[in-house]
Chain A
Amino acid sequence: MSQRQVLQVFEQYQKARTQFVQMVAELATRPQNIETLQNAGVMSLLRPLLLDVVPTIQQTAALALGRLANYNDDLAEAVVKGDILPQLVYSLAEQNRFYKKAAAFVLRAVGKHSPQLAQAIVDCGALDTLVICLEDFDPGVKEAAAWALGYIARHNAELSQAVVDAGAVPLLVLCIQEPEIALKRIAASALSDIAKHSPELAQTVVDAGAVAHLAQMILNPDAKLKHQVLSALSQVAKHSVDLAEMVVEAEIFPVVLTCLKDKDEYVKKNACTLIREIAKHTPELSQLVVNAGGAAAVIDCIGSCKGNTRLPGIMMLGYVAAHSENLAMAVIISKGVPQLSVCLSEEPEDHIKAAAAWALGQIGRHTPEHARAVAVTNTLPVLLSLYMSTESSEDLQVKSKKAIKNILQKCTYLPALEPFLYDAPPNILKHVVGQFSKVLPHDSKARRLFVTSGGLKKVQEIKAEPGSLLQDYINSINNCYPEEIVRYYSPGYSDTLLQRVDSYQPLIN
């Protein structure tokens, strides 16, 4: 009799504990409850439950802790300060897969907030156990462990190095080959976070043979997976020429171009980023991209996107055009310039406009042919207005000024230069007048056009200090025309004529 009563007490207590921990876990899913839970001191209550005899209670307590730590970094810090981590790490090695998943969730939730918390996780030796979890049979455990490692490695290079030193990279590469899509996604994201910090880390990822597998997964129809895979490849390729070459050798072209037509915005953005990181290193790589038809695909992609997704594509065109004039000509014949000028005028954000202005400057700066191709699309007035407007940011002003200067120094297409005579500031006016002074002496039709369109009149009205470069240019322009015409158009000519009328003595016969 008494034995049963004694047992009943224990069973009631177990029932109470189970109920408590399940309710807390459920309440922790809603953000509005978490404040109240925190004030009620839930951390100190959950901590002993982690050591409970019943496995279900342990798992649910770990789950509740993870959800709480996920919410904000104060709670995560409380988890760290409460010395819960060593216990978690210890039982991570021993318990069953549900507990492992829950514990890995807690580690991930703590590690994602800041580098200090992630460092705390590393300091209590969690990395080795997480790496052991990566070898587990259950894909859910692997996913949770890979996610935790990814979040830790995300913050800075030292943490990434710690993750790599724990031997995570080969196991992550194995995870990528697993059939479960969620696991592939997380593993690709973890590799991307590891590789992004420095060339050595990227080299480690490449040495583990990740690039070939990542390149195959580009063909996978799942959009989120493609997004992570492309991000991983671009983080690898961005550091150096050798790494970019290795990515290219995995035969991503022309498959990557199909990703540019995907419905998902992030896939398009990451594909453009990858192509940009490859094309920016050397002219040979840019030429490879252009030969594979990458320029046309990126230009179409820019046309179909809006906002920040366009930015990597615009920068890619700028990098390609910057390398050599042949590549810039290739960008021009792929109909890049109209698209870029549309971006320049349409986009509301300053940094995208700045990128478009820079790209146009790179295209137009090589030879008069290139400058003509840019000037014909009427982008120069837009660039000028961006430079002059007070609302543009510093960066935008500087970039549009450089672009205008670069293009003007090679531009011989006079109809595009004429509007500049009217509303350009003095430092740009100098270049414009200089260009006129170079072209007019040799072209009679241009001279005629210059006079009839009122350009000569405007040039006479420009005030310049004698001896300055501007005055030299104005003189050389004036020398192209006969004396009378120059005098006719000089300001105040009507006044001088009237003065002559006043002072004239009529001949009296």
Chain B
Amino acid sequence: MATLARLQARSLTVGNEYYFRNSVVDPFRNKENDAAVKIQSWFRGCQVRAYIRHLHRIVTIIQKWWRGFLGRKQYQLTVQVAYYTMMMNLYNAMAVRIQRRWRGYRVRKYLFNYYYLKEYLRVVSETNDAIRKALEEFAEMKEREEKKANLEREEKKRDYQARKMHYLLSTKQIPGIYNSPFRKEPDPWELQLQKAKPLTHQRPKVKQKYSTSLTDWLACTSARSFPRSEILPPINRKKCQGPFRDITEVLEQRYKPLEPTLRVAEPIDELKLAREDLRRKEWLRNVNDNMFLPFSSYHKNEKYIPSMHLSSKYSPISHKEQFRSEDPKKWICDKDFQTVLPSFELFSKYGKLYSKAGQIV
């Protein structure tokens, strides 16, 4: 019972004390709780972090290995590609070298010989110069000839004038007009007049339109039974005396056609003319003027002079495209090459020169 009383006496204070203790201790408890929580959380955090760190390390190792693996795989591919590219570049470069050499060779050998072209152009320009010079000389020669002809014509005219004025020459008694005594020396015309031969009286020139040779006269007398005067003679003339022959007989006799002897009928130099004629015909007909001579002795002296185009050391392209050697034993396979490329147009002209005279098979 004492305890009960004691407890009952305390119970009043127990409440207070209990409340007091709880409330006083609360902040401490919170504080301590917080502290404990903090410590625990910190520790747990450390634990977790250590665990995570551990995991990280492991994962890093795994990833490292995995990435290494992938990288190495990639590297293999890259290396392969790079190698492939390098080899292809090398092959391309080598192929370009081969193609370059081949194309250069082919163009130089079969299509276009640069040195031959150069040589050809040089020869053409030389020929041009030679022709120009020759033509100049020809023109000059023509000019000179024309001048000479002009001079000669002038000379002839002056001579003719002098001959016409021959009467103006001075005589012993009277000095002529070109030989005036007040002059120091006579005029050049005076000398010309002295040299000139006087003209004879002009014969009445029968105006003939056509050349008169014997044959012409023969041919046309048949049509000329009447005289060629325009006006007939007047009928009312003084009558002539005496018995007259019949007018037709007279005219017949007067206008009898010429009956030449055989000697006169042909021209004198007929044989010579005939020979000239024959020679001319032969010259027209023959292609080559040289006589045909036996082959053995005549052409030994003649040296063949090649033309400018052939005597250069660069020749035009030989028109046989030989990709293969001609000896069949050297061929690797028996079949012939297939023509994949079209043939050069140049070769279709082989053998067909500009003239049909040289038909080469």
Spell out A's residues near B (CB within 8 Å). 4, 7-8, 11, 14-15, 18-19, 22, 54-56, 95-97, 137-138, 140, 177, 212-213, 242, 245, 248-249, 254, 257-258, 260-261, 263, 282, 284-285, 287-288, 290-293, 295-297, 300, 326, 329-330, 333-334
Contacts and interface: CB of A to CB of B under 8 A. Distances in A.
Contacts, number: 90
The 10 closest A-B pairs by CB, nearest first: A293-B131, A284-B354, A296-B128, A293-B127, A261-B139, A96-B223, A261-B135, A330-B124, A334-B128, A333-B125
A297 B355 contact: no
7 contacts: A96-B219, A96-B223, A257-B131, A261-B139, A330-B124, A333-B125, A334-B124
Interface residues of B, number: 34
Given A284-B353, A300-B135, A330-B120, 16 more contacts: A11-B232, A11-B235, A14-B232, A95-B223, A96-B220, A96-B223, A97-B220, A138-B216, A213-B284, A290-B124, A295-B128, A329-B117, A330-B121, A330-B124, A333-B128, A334-B125
B357 A249 contact: yes
Contacts of A254: 131
Contacts of A257: 131, 135
Contact of A326 (B120, B139, B353): B120
A212 B210 contact: no
A285 B355 CA distance: 9
Most buried by A among B121, B127, B309: B127
Contacts of B249: none
A257 B139 CA distance: 11
Contacts of A137: 215, 219
B235 to A, nearest CB: 6
B135 A258 contact: yes
B132 interface: yes
Nearest to B127: A293
A4 B236 CA distance: 10
B138 interface: yes
Nearest to A12: B232
Interface string B336-361: 00000000000000000111110000
A96 B222 CA distance: 9
B230 interface: yes
A297 B128 CA distance: 8
A15 B356 contact: no
Contacts of A242: 356
Nearest to B122: A333
A334 B215 CA distance: 57
B142 interface: yes
A297 B131 contact: yes
A260 B138 CA distance: 11
B268 interface: no
Nearest to A293: B131
B210 to A, nearest CB: 7
Nearest to B135: A261
Given A258-B138, A284-B354, A329-B121, A296 B223 contact: no
A331 to B, nearest CB: 10
B128 to A, nearest CB: 3
Contacts of B128: 293, 295-296, 333-334
B303 interface: no
Contacts of B355: 245, 248-249
Interface string B170-198: 00000000000000000000000000000
Contacts of B127: 291-293, 296
Contacts of B354: 245, 282, 284-285, 287-288
B207 interface: no
A300 B134 CA distance: 13
B231 interface: yes
B131 A15 contact: no
Contacts of A329: 117, 121
B220 to A, nearest CB: 6
A499 B73 CA distance: 58
A138 B135 CA distance: 39
Contacts of A55: 223
B130 interface: yes
B124 to A, nearest CB: 5
Contacts of A330: 120-121, 124
Nearest to B283: A216
Contacts of A54: 226
Contacts of B124: 290-291, 293, 295, 330, 333-334
A332 to B, nearest CB: 9
B228 interface: yes
